[in-house]
Amino acid sequence: MKISVYIATSLDGFIARSDGGLDWLQHDPGEKVDSHDPFKTEPDIEDYGFNPFFQSIDTMVMGRGTYEFVADTGQWIYEGKRTIVLSSTLSEGDIAKHLAGKIEVLSAEPADLAKKLQAEGAERVYVDGGVTIQRFLRAGLVDELIVSRMPVLLGSGISLFGDLDADIHFEHIETRGYPSGLVQSRYAAIR
């Protein structure tokens, strides 16, 4: 089983504004961001490899904050993917009506969830959400990091990375620049 992170950050390492805002993901202040795929702004514009990546996964694990953002859009792009919301405060009864039956809510440690997913046959897991990503990193479970740096400084916000008990080493696989100014790097965990 492979556990991957695919996420965008500002140049200063923030994944969202302090209030959770993602408006800075826009390439041009006048451009409208697609609410269910903030990397993609129009059908003809580069999606930065998100769609091929997304098609390669079978399981999506997100935190409560990411779930709430997705639920508020009223859209569901995870059709056909097993989707788990990892939360100790959310219950199945709290799930938005339009998402009932489409997600599972679990309260588990990342290592326990990884064991469960592997035992159930998951092959490629996408982990999303700041706190959830940090928890999986601290547990040493992230096999691949795909980080897209947007050409903007926010100054403050929600950081992608948090405190660690020990260094986590990654091997650089590739970096690609795009005309929009986005720079995407892919890393594999060294174990």
Round to whole Å and give the CA distance between 20 and 16.
5
- CATH number for the domain harbouring residue 87: 3.40.430.10
Round to whole Å and give the CA distance between 174 and 170.
12
Round to whole Å and give the CA distance between 165 and 44.
43
Mean pLDDT, to the nearest integer, of 7-15? 95
Residue 127 has pLDDT above 90, yes or no: yes
pLDDT at position 27 is 54
Strand extents, DSSP E, 38-190 = 59-63, 82-86, 104-106, 124-128, 144-150, 158-159, 170-177, 183-189
pLDDT at position 28 is 52
Residue ranges making up the domain that contains 63: 2-189
How, if at all, do strands 82-86 and 104-106 pair? parallel
- Give the pLDDT band of residue 77 (cuts 50, 70, 90): confident
More confident residue, 44 or 107: 107
pLDDT tens readout for residues 20-61: 888 898 755 444 445 445 544 454 567 899 999 999 999 999
Residue 120 has pLDDT above 80, yes or no: yes
- The pTM score is 0.87
Residue owning tokens 């199945």: 92
Angle 94-71-34 (CA atoms, 0-180°, nearest 5)? 175
Number of domains in the chain: 1
pLDDT tens readout for residues 128-186: 999 999 999 999 999 999 999 999 999 999 999 988 888 999 999 999 999 889 999 99
pLDDT at position 35 is 47
Q: How far is CA 58 from CA 1, 40, 80, 111, 191, in A?
A: 10, 21, 8, 18, 24
Mean pLDDT, to the nearest integer, of 123-130? 96
pLDDT at position 162 is 87
More confident residue, 71 or 44: 71
